[in-house]
Structure 1
Amino acid sequence: MYRLTVICLALLVATAAATNVRECKNGQPFPLSVEVVNCAEMPCDVPKGSTVKMNVHFLGNRDNIKTITGVVHATTLGLTVPYPLPDEVSDVCRNLMHGAICPIYETEDVVYNFNFFIDPTYPEVSVKVELDLVDENKESVACFVTDVKVRRAIS
């Protein structure tokens, strides 16, 4: 009973801070919530040269997930391209919060601290960002889409 109360409380807190994001189009599992820090509604304004911080709250959707990798695709002006991430960011297991570690088990409740750097040379445009968390078999564990507006750097 205590564990259920703690889980319900955690979900309530996560939902209160959640950013309104969309599901991916290929039917991948949707996270419990996504908090884009300092952004409640899409599109999120992001200055060039800054790091967008996201907390992705998801459940393990199968047993014994040994590795999880964050894969980003960015779409702007009708063109979708992969957005390569440094290993220290794309390695979800390395960036789990609250003491969680891999392997992840089915129904395990975890939060990934995702830091998405906006290159200072990136043009000032609207971008659809898809983050898919995939396991060692390239199967999706959680996926979402958010919209950002890249702005001039804050001086």
Structure 2
Amino acid sequence: MDFINTIVCFIFPMISFCQENAVGESIKYTNCGPDTLKNVDMSPCPVQPCTFHKGTNATVTIDFTTDKQVFGITTKVYGIVAGIPIPYQLPKSNGCKGCNLNCPLITGSHRYINVFPVLQSYPEIRIAVKWELVDENNEQLLCFVFPMQIEA
């Protein structure tokens, strides 16, 4: 069934089913937080560094676990330029709304999905991206860093 979902989403990427059941390519990343990450998929990202084109959308799908009840989740994303993390405000930074999570989260496995735009105004650049989910107390639920580039 996952193969069929992948084909349908590839051919018809605007179908809302594809955003809710996003299937991407597993990426290599560096874990910078607790040992809760199980898998990170990025789409489109057939090879790394992930190359995102201006005027398109990208999708991140994160499989992770939590060992506690979580009442709120905030997504924090940074572009690391010359070693300095520059915050990037996602349109959907509330992980409990529109990211496939139903808060409060219970102990166990979860899948977070976020579709975000690659704006025309972004510079063409190759950088490392730091992606974090934090709980209602600003405690890190997960963190990873991966390479990406933006092209026209």
TM-score greater than 0.5 by the shorter chain: yes
Alignment partner, residue 106 of structure 2: 105
Alignment partner, residue 15 of structure 2: none
Alignment partner, residue 69 of structure 1: 74
2:87 partner amino acid: P
Alignment partner, residue 38 of structure 1: 44
Structure 1 residue 30 displacement after superposition:
4.4
1:19 partner amino acid: I
1:51 aligns with 2:57: yes
| Per-residue deviation, residues 40-68 of structure 1 (Å, max 9, x unmatched) | 44200110122210111111132x20011
Structure 1 residue 75 displacement after superposition:
1.2
Match of 1:18 among 1, 26, 32: 26
- SS in structure 2 of the partner of residue 101 of structure 1: coil
- SS in structure 1 of the partner of residue 31 of structure 2: coil
Percent of aligned pairs with the same residue? Answer: 28
The structure with more strand, counted as a fraction of residues: 2
Q: Take 2:36 and 2:29, find their aligned partners in 1: how far apart are those partners?
A: 10
Q: 1:126 to 1:37 in 2, by over 3 A?
A: same
Q: Take 1:140 and 1:130, find their aligned partners in 2: how far apart are those partners?
A: 13
- Identify which range, 44-53 or 114-123, moves more after superposition: 114-123
Q: Take 1:94 and 1:23, find their aligned partners in 2: how far apart are those partners?
A: 25
Poorly superposed stretches of 4+, deviation over 6 Å: none
The alignment covers a number of residue pairs equal to: 129
Alignment partner, residue 141 of structure 2: 141
Match of 2:94 among 83, 87, 91: 91
Q: Take 2:141 and 2:46, find their aligned partners in 1: how far apart are those partners?
A: 24
Question: Normalization by structure 1: what TM-score?
Answer: 0.74
Unpaired runs of 5+ residues, structure 1, are 1-15
- SS in structure 2 of the partner of residue 45 of structure 1: strand
Unpaired runs of 5+ residues, structure 2, are 1-23
